[in-house]
Structure 1
Amino acid sequence: MNYTFDFAPVFAAWPTLLEGIMGTLRMSSLSMVFGLGLGIIFMMMRMSGRPGLRTVAVGYIELIRNTPILVQVFFVFFGMPAIGIRLSGEQAAILAMTLNCAAYAAEIVRGGVQSIRPGQIEAGRALGMHTADIYRFIVFRPAIRAVYPALCSQFILLMLNSSLVSSVSAEELTYYAQTLDSQTFRSFEIYLTLGVIYLALSQVLSAVLSLIGRVYFSYPTK
C-alpha cells in the first residue's frame, strides 16, 4: 500500500467543517421541534372519532414510514416546483425532515397516550381540572415521559439522516465534506473525520436530550 495519509487539508478546512456542523444542528433542531408538534397533531387526528381525520392521518403516517427519506427530500426539492412551490436546499431539507419526523413522532407519542389509563382522566375531571390542564398534565406530559427514550432515538436518527440532504445542496456537514473531497481528493481522511464528527454529534445530542428529560420529565423528589 503506497497511500500516504495526510490530514493537513482536513485541519486546514476546519472552519468550513464547523460551518457545516452548525448547519446540520440548525436544520436538525428545527425539524425536531416542528416534527414533534406536527406529529402530535397527526396523533390526535389518528385517535379522533372522525373517520375522515383518522384516514388522512393513517395514510400520511404509512406513506412517510414506508418510503425512503431520500425520496421524500427529492420530492420536496425536485417535485414540488411542478406545482409552483420552489424551495432552497435548506428549506427543502427542513420541510422533508419535519414531515418525516412527524410521522414517526405521531406513532411514538400515540403509544404513550394509549398507556394512560382512562381512570386518570376521569380523576382529573372529578377534581374540577380544566380540559386543557387535563391533557397537559395528565395525558401529554406523562405520555411523552413514557416514550421519551424512543423520541430521543428518533431525533438522533433524524440528525444522522440529515447527511442525505446534501444531495439537494443543503449546506450541512456532509455537503461541505463532499466539496472538500472534490478539492483535495483526500477521501479517506475526510470521511473518516466526518464519521468521527457525526459520532461526537450523536453523543452530544444524546447528552442534551437526557438533560432535557431530567429537567422536564423527571418525577419530583422530596
Structure 2
Amino acid sequence: MKFFIDTANLGHIREAHELGILDGVTTNPSLMAKEGISGHENVIRHYKAICDITDGDVSAEVISTTFEGMLQEAEELVKIDEQIVVKIPMIKDGVKAIKYLSGQGVRTNCTLVFSPGQALLAAKAGATYVSPFIGRLDDVSTDGMVLIDDIRLIYDNYDFKTQILAASVRHPMHIIACAKSGADVVTSSLSAITALLKHPLTDIGLAQFLADYERAAATTNKPNA
C-alpha cells in the first residue's frame, strides 16, 4: 500500500519524505488556506514546492465545477510538474472532465466519493485514482470501511485499473483497516502515520534493553579489587 500525506504543510511533507515512507501528496484549497497560502500565483508556486520535495504523485485540485472550467484549470496544473495529478470532484461535469482528460493522457484523482456507484462511474471514466472519504462517512454514523470493501470488490470483478485512494483518514487504525481491505493508497495526516510507530511494549522493551546494557557496561568497566 502506498502512503500519501494529506497536507499543504511543507515541513510535514519533508518529515514524511525523510522518514522514507512517502509515496505522494494530496492537498486541496482548504489545506492551502490553513497554511496561509492564498492568491492564484502563490498556490501554483506552492504546488511546485511540494513537487520539489517528494518524488511521488501530487494531487492538485480544480476549483471550477463546470466542464470547460475544469479543463482550463487542468491544463494549467499539469504544466507545473509531471508529478501533478488533477483532482476532480465527483459531479456530472467532473466525470465528463475525467473521461476527456484520461483520453488526453492526463492523470486524475476523482475526489469526494461516498458510494460504490460513484466509484464505478469514476473508474468507467478512466480516473487514475478514486478518493472515498471514509472519515466523513464515519461522522454520519456510516462505516466508511464498508465502502472500501465494496469498491475493492467491484474493481476486482472487472479488473479496473483505477487505484483506491482512501481519504479522510483520521487515525492509525483507519490506516490498518484500509491495508486489510486492499486500498491501493491511503492519504492521511503526518500524525496518523507516525502513530503507527508507537506501541507501549516497544517503549518498555527498549528501556529494558538500554538498562541491561548500562548494567553490563558498568560491570565490565568496574576496576578489579
TM-score, normalised by the number of residues in structure 1? 0.22
Higher relative contact order (CA 8 A, sep 6+): 1
| Structure with greater helix percent | 1
